[in-house]
């Protein structure tokens, strides 16, 4: 064993050493339909205005640690209830980590729970914070198995339950009554985290129900709205609970360029909302076109992506790659996703190119 092997084995946790890294595919030269991004940029005149705003930023100074102006814009424009505030994160990933760190008690082994398959960062952040993770499989039709969820909550008494709404990678919205039942089942010992990353496309939310449930946390990101590059997430909860979570947030975790870009974008929210509306319309067209292809099962979607099942996902994925179209092969994530591909909804031109390539791959 080399000296570096000895050093790593003696310093790095065994579960971290055993974990695989988070792999992001190189999309250079591809039509990129694997990461649920908004394909539209801001109009040219707004980009010019934003460039001037960014040029005036004092890069030599730390951000204003309270982020009060940005948080106020989010509260005013994105449906946060009166009397509620938000904390900000470097994307929703950091918010998930903050939640896990805040709940990873040292006197006992805390647990986080989520339906599976779902967003992979729930399990990774739980593990890295030193918590146990319990995944409760979805039903074969990809809906929430409420009895199994409630049984798992009763057995494990989780500090956190993550509920992606709509769910990634399946795209469907879990039944609202089922989520309420889970929130109520956690009352007194656990937090229900409703992750609304795709809210611009689902147009359904639990944000307005925060005053109804003290153990409800609603988390969102502006990434899917069209600002993936600035890495900004926000989270709201009961004021006293939010204050405790904010203690875990690193100071200056949002850089000044992100802050200014987000404030600017929220001042022009109507542009981003129109882009989301265009993508919702395109989603319906793309789902209908896919459903007409033989051997393709299209699952309901309330997100900006579509999950499909094909006879051979590995073969279809490889053929799309050969045609420079990159989608996500999720078939190995869980048995309920066997032979499934996830496709981001994009511009009419890119959707058409994908459909032509996909139809050719299925016919070959």
pLDDT tens digits, residue range 229-273? Answer: 999 999 999 999 999 999 999 999 999 999 999 999 999 999 999
Residue 135 pLDDT greater than 90, yes or no: yes
Is it the case that residue 27 has pLDDT exceeding 80?
no
pLDDT for position 326 = 96
**Is pLDDT at 364 greater than 70 in this prediction?**
no
Confidence of residue 106 (pLDDT cuts 50, 70, 90): confident
Tell me the C-alpha distance between 335 and 344, whole Å: 22
Q: What is the DSSP letter of 174?
A: P
- The arithmetic mean of pLDDT across residues 51-77, rounded, is 94
What single DSSP character describes residue 25? -
What is the CATH code of the structural domain delimited by 61-267?
Answer: 3.40.640.10
- Which residue in 222, 328, 234, 326 sits closest to 276, CA to CA? 222
105 Cβ contact list (under 8 Å, min separation 6): 159
**How many CB atoms within 10 Å of residue 357?**
20
Residue 6 pLDDT greater than 70, yes or no: yes
* 207-229: b (≥16 Cβ within 10 Å) or e: bebbeebebbbbbbbbbbbbbbe
Cα distances (Å, whole numbers) of residue 126 to 36, 158, 168: 23, 11, 17
pLDDT band at residue 21 under the 50/70/90 scheme: confident
Tell me the average pLDDT across 75-94.
97
- By C-alpha distance, which of 186, 214, 246, 223 is closest to 93? 223
The percentage of residues in the chain with a pLDDT greater than 70, rounded to a whole number, is 100
Q: Return the percentage of the chain with pLDDT > 90, whole number.
A: 89
The pLDDT of residue 87 is 97
Q: Is the peptide bond before 169 cis (omega within 30 degrees of 0)?
A: yes
Confirm whether 15-42+270-363 and 61-267 share one CATH topology: no
Angle of the 313-322 helix axis to the 348-363 helix axis, nearest 10: 120
Q: Where are the domains of the chain?
A: 15-42+270-363, 61-267
The Cα 127–Cα 219 span in angstroms is: 20
Average pLDDT, the chain: 95
pLDDT tens track for 167-210: 999 999 999 999 999 999 999 999 999 999 999 999 999 999 99
Topology of the domain covering 15-42+270-363: 3.90.1150
Question: Tens of pLDDT along 267-315?
Answer: 999 999 999 999 999 999 999 999 999 999 999 999 999 999 999 999 9
Beta bridge mates, 233: 89, 221
């Amino acid at each position: 064993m080399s000296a570096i092997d000895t050093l790593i084995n003696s310093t790095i946790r065994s579960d971290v050493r055993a974990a695989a890294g988070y792999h992001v595919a190189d999309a250079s030269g591809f039509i990129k339909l694997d990461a649920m991004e908004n394909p539209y940029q801001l109009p040219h005149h707004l980009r010019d205005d934003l460039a001037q705003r960014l040029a005036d930023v004092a890069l030599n100074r730390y951000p204003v640690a309270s982020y009060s102006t940005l948080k106020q814009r989010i509260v005013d424009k994105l449906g946060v209830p009166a009397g509620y505030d938000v904390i900000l994160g470097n994307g929703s990933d950091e918010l998930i980590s903050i939640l896990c760190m805040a709940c990873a008690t040292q006197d006992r082994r805390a647990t986080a729970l989520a339906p599976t398959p779902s967003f992979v960062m729930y399990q990774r952040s739980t593990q890295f914070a030193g918590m146990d993770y319990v995944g409760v499989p979805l039903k074969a039709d990809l809906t929430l198995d409420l009895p199994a969820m409630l049984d798992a909550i009763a057995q494990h008494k989780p500090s956190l339950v993550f509920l992606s709404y709509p769910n990634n990678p399946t795209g469907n919205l879990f039944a609202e009554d089922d989520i309420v039942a889970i929130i109520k089942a956690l009352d007194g010992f656990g937090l229900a985290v409703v992750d609304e990353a795709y809210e611009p496309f689902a147009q359904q939310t639990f944000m307005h129900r925060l005053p109804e449930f003290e153990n409800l946390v609603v988390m969102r990101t502006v990434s899917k709205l069209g600002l993936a590059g600035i890495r900004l997430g926000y989270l709201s909860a009961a004021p006293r609970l939010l204050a405790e979570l904010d203690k875990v947030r690193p100071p200056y975790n949002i850089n000044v360029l992100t802050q200014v870009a987000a404030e600017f974008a929220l001042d022009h929210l109507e542009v981003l909302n129109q882009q989301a509306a265009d993508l919702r319309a395109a989603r319906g067209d793309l789902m209908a076109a896919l459903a007409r292809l033989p051997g393709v099962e299209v699952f309901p979607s309330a997100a900006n992506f579509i999950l499909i099942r094909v006879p051979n996902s590995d073969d279809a994925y490889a053929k799309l790659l050969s045609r420079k179209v990159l989608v996500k092969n999720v078939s190995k994530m869980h048995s309920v996703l066997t032979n499934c591909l996830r496709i981001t909804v994009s511009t009419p031109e890119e959707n058409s190119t994908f459909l032509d390539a996909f139809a050719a791959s299925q016919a070959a």
